Structure 1
Amino acid sequence: MSVNPMAYETQFFGFTPQTCMLRIYFAFQDYLFEMMLVVEGVMLKKLDSIPGCKIRPPQIRKCTEKFLLFMREHFDNLFATMEEVMLQLVLNIPKNVLLPEDRVQEQYPYSKEEFQALQDELQQLQQQCRAEAALEQALRAELEEQKAVTAELEKILQCFDGLENICREHGTGNFKESFALLTKSSKKLQDVLKDIEEKSKKIKQHDRLV
């Protein structure tokens, strides 16, 4: 059996030529064995019909096996020649023939260095695509956060509008001025509360000393 990998032929046919020849070989072997059994059966029937025949079935089987061995040896020699012809002429693609899917390589030839450069460029582009996808995802998350903040601000503005309407209804004037005054008053109250807390701490410390 040939040891040539014949990769191009395998690409074209979809199977290795050696495998094809091996299947043909086994098919011929099986057919030869079946034919010898048929011949043996016919001979046994003929012998049964001959009166006083001294040839016994075991002798017929022995002769059949010898003849089968003889046929197999000659068949192997013939098959070796047939295999050589099939692999060189029938199942062989000439060196100057390109498959349709490989003709583009003839139109656009490239060296190993150019192919490696293309591989490197492709890898860089893939990394850039992944980085841009991650950036897009981050921007989408930020946009969703901005939408949530905008919704909260709208709620606050609606609340301020409601307070301003309440102030107008009760004659307290401009809500902004009232809010500013309320802020100042709150600051004063915080200062007074802080002063009271400090005085309270001093009194407690004085009581402990006494």
Structure 2
Amino acid sequence: MSVRPMAYEAQFFGFTPQTCVLRVYIAFQDYLFEIMLVVESVILKKLDAIPDSKISPSQIRKCTEKFFVFMKEQFNKLFSNLEKVLLQLVLSIPPNVLLPEDKVHEQYPYSKEQFQTLQEEVQELQRQCRAEASARQALRAELEEQKVVQAELEKILQWFAGLESICREHGTSSVKESFTFLTQNSNKLQDVLKDVEKKSKRVKKHHQLL
């Protein structure tokens, strides 16, 4: 059987032509074997009808096997010609014929070097697409973070606006003046606390001496 790779034919038919031919060969061989069994059974029936026959069934079987070998040899010779017809004419695609899905190669032919260049360009475009997708994802994350910060700033501004309103209600002209006033009072309170602590220590020492 032919060993020529018929990949283009396999692409078109969905199976390799060699496989098809092999199945046809096996089918014919099985059919020939079945025919030999039928012929053998007919001969045995005819033999039973002949009285005092000196031919035994084992002799019939040997003759049948020899005949089967002979027929198989003749069949193989005939099938070799049939195989050539099937593979070269029936199941082959001429070199000048293109499948519909391969018409594009005829319209846009390219060499191996051009194909390699196209592959490299495709890989570079894929890399750029991945980088752009990563950059967009990072930008979205930054925008989300900015939204959170903006919300916090708005809360702080609202708090300052409320504080300024309270200061105006209590006669303070601005938040800055209020913080200055609070800072001065805080410093005074710290001085008073320090003075109280010193006096407390003196009183404790005085009690210990007594």
User: TM-score range, shorter-chain basis?
Assistant: 0.7 to 0.9
| Structure 1: distance between partners of 2:129 and 2:62 | 76
- What residue is the counterpart of 1:98 in the other structure? 98
Deviation string 1:65-118 (CA, Å, 9 cap, x unpaired) is 111111111111111111011111111111111111111111112222222221
| Structure 1: distance between partners of 2:57 and 2:93 | 51
Can you give the 5+ residue segments of structure 2 that lack an aligned partner in the other structure? 195-210
Q: Give TM-score, length-normalised by structure 1.
A: 0.81
Relative to structure 1, the CA distance from residue 26 to residue 183 in structure 2 (aligned partners, 3 Å threshold; closer, same or farther) is farther
| Structure 2: distance between partners of 1:77 and 1:183 | 117
* RMSD (Å), alpha carbons: 2.4
Relative to structure 1, the CA distance from residue 142 to residue 117 in structure 2 (aligned partners, 3 Å threshold; closer, same or farther) is same
Relative to structure 1, the CA distance from residue 78 to residue 182 in structure 2 (aligned partners, 3 Å threshold; closer, same or farther) is farther
Relative to structure 1, the CA distance from residue 58 to residue 182 in structure 2 (aligned partners, 3 Å threshold; closer, same or farther) is farther
For residue 151 of structure 1, report the CA deviation from its aligned partner: 1.6
- What residue is the counterpart of 2:152 in the other structure? 152
| Structure 2: distance between partners of 1:20 and 1:184 | 100
Deviation string 1:15-71 (CA, Å, 9 cap, x unpaired) is 111111111111111111111112222222222233322322222211111111111
- What residue is the counterpart of 2:126 in the other structure? 126
For residue 175 of structure 1, report the CA deviation from its aligned partner: 4.2
- What residue is the counterpart of 1:174 in the other structure? 173
How many residue pairs get aligned? The number is 192
| Structure 2: distance between partners of 1:129 and 1:144 | 23
| Structure 2: distance between partners of 1:132 and 1:122 | 15
Q: Matched residues, percent identical?
A: 67
Can you give the 5+ residue segments of structure 1 that lack an aligned partner in the other structure? 197-210
**Contact 2:44–2:60 (Cα < 8 Å) also in 1:** yes
| Structure 1: distance between partners of 2:173 and 2:55 | 134
- What residue is the counterpart of 1:47 in the other structure? 47
Q: Which amino acid aligns with 1:107?
A: Q
Relative to structure 1, the CA distance from residue 175 to residue 48 in structure 2 (aligned partners, 3 Å threshold; closer, same or farther) is farther
**Contact 2:167–2:175 (Cα < 8 Å) also in 1:** no
